Structure 1
Amino acid sequence: MPPLTAATEVAAYRIVIEALTNVARHADASRASVSLRQQEGSLLLEVRDDGASAVPWTPGVGISSMRERATQVGGTLRTTSGPSGSVVEATIPHFSE
């Protein structure tokens, strides 16, 4: 994979940190995983946990800031939650400097 731009590196790092902070604060999870991969010219970032959530997440400051960071570098953010855990998925276009 070509080098990431500085903006992409910072956005990906901040999204992962915020997602893991949400897991620690809200998920009641015993496990969390982070995966990064390249697909079709984009960086795909996924943070997954095994905490049970009976209702979908409500957008708060954390989710809003992750979505804003993804959008600032031309990407998207998707969140899902349910009884088997939650997932934060960011897709960020990959451009080298």
Structure 2
Amino acid sequence: MILKIDFGNDFIQYISCSTKVGRKMNSIQEDFLNWIFDEKKNTKYWALDYGERIPNYDANAIIDWLNNVRFKKGIAKAKLITSPQFKIKKKLYY
């Protein structure tokens, strides 16, 4: 399944994942946001902005979370794609 991830400001990326994972993305989006904003669980995607630490993420962070946190035991692996060859099945906004 191809997911279009819109981060705003004309920054759009695409993820390829299993249909099973893609169908759950709306319901697990909040779980991802809780993970990315938890500095105790995740420091890889944090950056300094004028001396303040803030989350700084893109589709690679979502892929990392899907593959290594949420579905680490499953076979539903997600990957970044540059230009979708198939129809986009779902749009998500972050």
Please give the TM-score of this superposition, normalised by the length of structure 2: 0.29
Which has the higher relative contact order, 1 or 2, with Cα contacts under 8 A spaced 6 or more apart? 2
- Identify the structure with the greater strand proportion: 1
